[in-house]
């Protein structure tokens, strides 16, 4: 005779199981979770979980990077944007500078802020080369594997500590997940004022980022320029720093964010 747990498992429809998988992401919805862990949380076999994730990925409900999954764009579009007032004010003020950066580089450029252990992309302008990047306007990425995120973590000790204490998934073979490696990287960013993503968020994607400072010199946001494997950061570093400097002069007198 079957017990109630076995019967409950049998009676779960495909929709029930898909919802269970989506709920299983929990607080890791932006950082990402592997198939085995999602299956364990959802009470499903690994093979069933993998099939459901493939279906959810086809419909934009989840994104996959390597062996890690996170919630996708379609769910964010259904829920609608949830921008904070501070994000709106920073985006509105700094977007003209982002447009200037785009005009100078003709590359994919992005504006981001920190929210907890993630970066939130406030705006993005796509380069003419059709470069595919994992970021999207209003979307999130773990700060530790992005250039903009490293810039922001390097200036926020409490956020950096939270990232170093928490789990870090290897999005690619280049992702810095070792604590000592990441600490050294953030120290280098603090010294140079420039961060790199060397294929750490997506294979064959290169990105450089610099800070934008507000009142009192506090880092409030970050600009970045992205390219493919042929990307040469020195070609864009000068204009990136110049635009960020101009943006910081305006932001220092116009934006005061709560500490």
pLDDT value for 253: 83
Residue 234 sits in the same domain as residue 111? yes
Look up the CATH number of the domain holding residue 163: 3.30.450.40
User: Per the domain annotation, does 214 fall within a domain?
Assistant: yes
Burial 60-74 (b: 16+ CB within 10 A, else e): ebbbebeebbbbbee
| d(C-alpha 174, C-alpha 183), whole Å | 15
Q: 162-186, pLDDT tens digit by residue?
A: 999 988 989 899 999 999 999 999 9
Residue 148 sits in the same domain as residue 46? no
Residue 136 sits in the same domain as residue 214? yes
Residue 244 sits in the same domain as residue 156? yes
For residues 150 and 186, the answer to whether their CB atoms sit within 8 Å is yes
Residue 217 sits in the same domain as residue 154? yes
pLDDT value for 62: 86
Give residue 214's domain range.
85-254
Residue 151 sits in the same domain as residue 213? yes
pLDDT value for 76: 62
Q: What is the mean pLDDT of each run of 10 residues along the chain (259 residues)?
A: 44 83 81 87 92 88 81 64 67 93 93 93 86 84 96 96 91 94 98 95 93 93 90 86 95 69
pLDDT value for 255: 66
Residue 65 sits in the same domain as residue 95? no
What is the total count of domains within the chain? 2
Q: Burial of 167 by CB count in 10 Å (0-12 exposed, 13-18 middle, 19+ buried)?
A: exposed
Question: Can you name the residues that pair with 207 across neighbouring β-strands?
Answer: 197, 226
pLDDT value for 6: 39
Per DSSP, 226 falls in state E
């Amino acid at each position: 005779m079957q017990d109630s747990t076995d019967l409950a498992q049998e009676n779960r429809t495909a929709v029930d199981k898909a919802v269970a998988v989506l709920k299983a992401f929990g607080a890791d919805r932006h950082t990402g979770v592997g198939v085995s862990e999602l299956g364990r949380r959802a009470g499903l076999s690994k093979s069933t979980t993998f099939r459901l994730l493939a279906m959810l990925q086809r419909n934009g409900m989840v994104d996959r990077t390597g062996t890690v999954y996170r919630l996708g764009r379609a769910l964010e579009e259904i829920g609608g944007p949830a921008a904070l007032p501070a994000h709106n004010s920073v985006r509105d003020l700094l977007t003209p500078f982002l447009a200037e950066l785009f005009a100078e580089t003709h590359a994919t450029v992005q504006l981001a802020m920190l929210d907890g252990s993630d970066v939130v992309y406030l705006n993005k302008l796509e380069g003419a080369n059709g470069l595919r990047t994992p970021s999207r306007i209003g979307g999130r990425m773990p700060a530790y594997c992005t250039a903009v995120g490293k810039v922001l973590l390097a200036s926020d000790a409490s956020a950096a500590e939270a990232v170093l204490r928490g789990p870090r998934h290897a999005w690619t073979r280049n992702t810095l997940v070792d604590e000592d490696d990441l600490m050294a990287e953030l120290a280098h960013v603090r010294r140079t004022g420039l961060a790199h993503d060397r294929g750490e968020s997506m294979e064959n994607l290169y990105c450089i980022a610099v800070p934008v400072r507000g009142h009192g010199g506090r880092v409030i946001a970050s600009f970045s320029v992205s390219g493919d494997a042929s990307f040469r950061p020195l070609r864009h570093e000068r204009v990136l720093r110049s635009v960020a400097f101009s943006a910081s002069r305006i932001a220092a007198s116009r934006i005061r964010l709560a500490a």
